[in-house]
Amino acid sequence: MLWTVCTYAILFYIPSYATRVLKLPSNVGFVAGLLGGLVLVVATPLVGRLSDRYGRRPWLLGSALAIFLCAYPMFWLINAMPGLGSLLVFELVLGLCISGYIGSILAVFSELLPARVLSTGLSVAYNLAVTLFGGFATFTITWLIATTGSNVAPAFYIMIAAAISTGGALLYRDTARPFHAVFKEAHR
């Protein structure tokens, strides 16, 4: 849920949000979205490698909590100081947080189901989540802004997804070596 909500709400919707809500030229939102995508391309594989070595659960929990804590301040920032600079900070901070989650969740997906049903199970679960939470993200964000009258309301949608995903991360049993075991090995 968190992956798709962040992808749609932060990366895909921000160019429209920058133009319609923040009243910025369209190129500003697109440049910021491009930076967000670039952060994901660079940071996600690095996090994936780190989650292979130190465990996935710390990355899932840490990233979900970071997204929960950063969503509101980042939306406040771009509304208080609309412009390219604030949008770049927004995309950089949230892009790094999202990378922490995506870099570990991909491996988690492969560990959740037995190999004989992995492709089918993952396809159904992933596409259902993308359809319900990502596909309706623009609608949900627009509805939240209209209902609350607050341009910061999209943060609440992201925060709810982060809270739910934090619960899922707490239930996940990590199959990678725990960080403390790797730390002990490194200091022998």
> What is the CATH number for 71?
1.20.1250.20
Per the structure, the complete domain to which residue 53 belongs is given by 2-186
Asked if pLDDT for residue 184 goes beyond 90, the answer is no
Whether the per-residue pLDDT at 128 is higher than 90: the answer is no
**Residue 69, CA distances (Å) to 5, 65, 150 in order:** 15, 6, 18
pLDDT tens digits, residue range 44-101? 999 999 999 989 999 999 999 999 999 999 999 999 999 999 999 999 999 999 999 9
What confidence tier does 19 reach under pLDDT thresholds 50, 70, 90? very high
User: What gap in Å lies between CA 50 and CA 47, rounded to an integer?
Assistant: 5
Q: What is the share, in percent, of the chain residues with pLDDT greater than 90?
A: 65
Structural domains of the chain, count? 1
**Alpha-carbon separation of residue 154 from 51, 96, 130, 141, 168 (angstroms):** 29, 19, 17, 5, 22
Query: Which are the contacts of 49, defined by CB distance < 8 A and separation ≥ 6?
Result: 103
Structure token pair of residue 88: 């770049």
